[in-house]
Amino acid sequence: MALFLKTLVFSLSTAQGLLAAGQAEIENHLEMGRKLLAAGQLAEALSHYHSAVENDPKNYLTYYKRATIYLAMGKFKSALPDLSKAIELKPDFLAVSLLKEGNCSRAEGLNLQRSGVLQSSPDNTEARSQLTRVTELELSMQEARTAFQRKNYMGAVGILDRAIEISPWDPEAKELRSECYLYLGNYDKAIMDLKPTTKLRNDNRAAFLKLSKLYYNLGEHEESLNQVRECLKLDQDDKNCFSHYKQVKKLSKQLETAEEHVKAHRYEDAIEKYKAAMKTEPNVEIYTSKAKGRICHCLSKNKQPREAIDICTEAHQLDPRNIFILRDRAEAYILNEELEKAVEDYQEAKEFDSENEELKEGLEKAQKLLKQSKKRDYYKILGIRRNANKQEIIKAYRKLAQQWHPDNFQSEDEKKEAEKKFIDIAAAKEVLTDPEMRQKFDSGEDPLDPENQQGGGGHQHQWPFEFNPFGTGNFHFKFHFN
């Protein structure tokens, strides 16, 4: 008998210990869920509330807490079963009933109903706790509205932080804080607050339209289009949403088509589309800035340096930290023989992104070309642009070769001067009509410079070499390079 009693006492103690441990684990999950919810880590908070429900499926509060997470995530279908279960387990838990109906912050109605509960059950701690929280929420909202009206937006944000911690599923608090962030110029946070409200209200076309306009003004036309489409899904006849949709759709199509032209190297077509986009949206500066930046790129790639420099300069003034505009203008400067300015642009771009390999290579090339230009520049010798084609090169060469042929001069001094010029003219034609040598020269290396004649392969030219500038032409003169 004594042994039986001892065993019974031990078993009861063990059971109590397990129950206590289990309750402590549930409390830990609920507390972690609350902290993660306050930090905005909804998925992590939900995981802890799942564990709390599994460990204590008869506790109405665990279902209620999990439902609040679902609501904050916009998962209404998942929240409703939890709210129904909480009411089933505790019918007098009126906060759940009101929450299920969507009356998240109607403190006055809740106060009246709570009063009845407290009259019949004055020791109902849960009722008192809920009443305190809802009352605190309403007071916070009133205080935040007052701060907002007084244009104390930072103060209002601080008050709303607490209100949202109390009721993270309440759209009114998030909408007001979003407005505050807009006035403070923090558009990212304004969007973050506004996005959940599209799910916290059954038909929130106004929020979708506002989000679309925010993204549009930030230059994110694709996301703007996504948001306004959500508005039209709720009501395809909504005039405000449809009007904005047409504008965004037109601009998006123009920009997308322009980029397709750029990828296909159809630069003239791309430029026309970017100009059309600027006409479609002349009032939002970011689209003008983007369009001019891309036109700058197209003109640079299309070997139109003067026009490129002008539009690149306009784009740079609108967006001074844009490394791609600086890169494209630098390339245009190279084409226009303004090598010092090209180096300056690459150096400025590199200050904004020192690890960019393309900028490093571009700067090295511009510096080589600048150094090279102080020695011998084959383009200048022939008096042609860097984007001259082979036919233009040969035409310039023949004209100069005829002009400076040594046989055209009588005195020894004139002949010597003509020889020097003729050598340079012939060398320029030799390099610029050979694709491989021209590419080397355009990269900052003189393929005819003895210092660069290292190793075998490629176009190796040993000096002196025999060169007939006119081939089988009218002149029978063979000139030996000395």
| Residue 339 and residue 408 share a domain | no
Question: Does the CA dihedral 379-382-384-389 come out positive or negative?
Answer: negative
| Residue 394 and residue 338 share a domain | no
Say if 34 falls within a structural domain: yes
Q: Which of 137, 158, 192 is the last residue of a domain?
A: 137
Q: Which of 104, 137, 170 is the last residue of a domain?
A: 137
What single string gives the DSSP state of each residue in 12-24?
Answer: HHHHHHHHHHHHH
Supply the CATH number for residue 416's domain.
Answer: 1.10.287.110
Q: Would you place residue 78 in the very low, low, confident or very high pLDDT band (cuts 50, 70, 90)?
A: confident
Range from 111-120, 150-159, 181-190, 471-480 carrying the lowest mean pLDDT = 471-480
Q: Which range of residues forms the domain containing residue 340?
A: 292-375
Selection from 294, 307, 296, 346 nearest residue 323 by Cα:
346
**DSSP H or E segment with residue 127:** helix 125-149
| Residue 129 and residue 26 share a domain | yes
| Residue 388 and residue 368 share a domain | no
| Residue 355 and residue 332 share a domain | yes
Overall average pLDDT of the 285-294 stretch: 96
The answer to whether residues 48 and 33 touch, using CB atoms and an 8 Å cutoff, is yes
Say if 68 falls within a structural domain: yes
Supply the CATH number for residue 31's domain.
Answer: 1.25.40.10
Say if 247 falls within a structural domain: no
Q: What is the pLDDT of residue 58?
A: 84
| Residue 28 and residue 132 share a domain | yes
pLDDT tens per residue, range 341-387: 999 999 999 999 999 999 999 999 999 888 877 777 888 889 888 88
Provide the number of structural domains found in the chain: 3
| Residue 131 and residue 32 share a domain | yes
What share of the chain in percent tops pLDDT 90?
A: 47
Whole-number Cα distances in Å, 400 to 58, 394, 406 = 99, 10, 12
Question: CA-CA distance, 350 to 324, in Å (whole number)?
Answer: 11
Say if 361 falls within a structural domain: yes
Q: Side-chain half-sphere of 392: how many Cα atoms within 13 Å?
A: 9
Q: Which of 137, 167, 200 is the last residue of a domain?
A: 137
462: which DSSP letter?
P
| Residue 354 and residue 407 share a domain | no
Task: Provide the whole-model pTM.
Answer: 0.61
Say if 298 falls within a structural domain: yes
Q: What is the pLDDT of residue 250?
A: 97
Say if 161 falls within a structural domain: no
Say if 180 falls within a structural domain: no
Q: Would you place residue 457 in the very low, low, confident or very high pLDDT band (cuts 50, 70, 90)?
A: very low
Question: CA-CA distance, 420 to 320, in Å (whole number)?
Answer: 46
pLDDT tens per residue, range 381-421: 898 888 889 999 999 999 999 998 888 888 888 888 888 88
Say if 181 falls within a structural domain: no
| Residue 403 and residue 350 share a domain | no
| Residue 402 and residue 365 share a domain | no
| Residue 475 and residue 432 share a domain | yes
| Residue 367 and residue 301 share a domain | yes
Residue 13: both structure tokens together: 């103690």
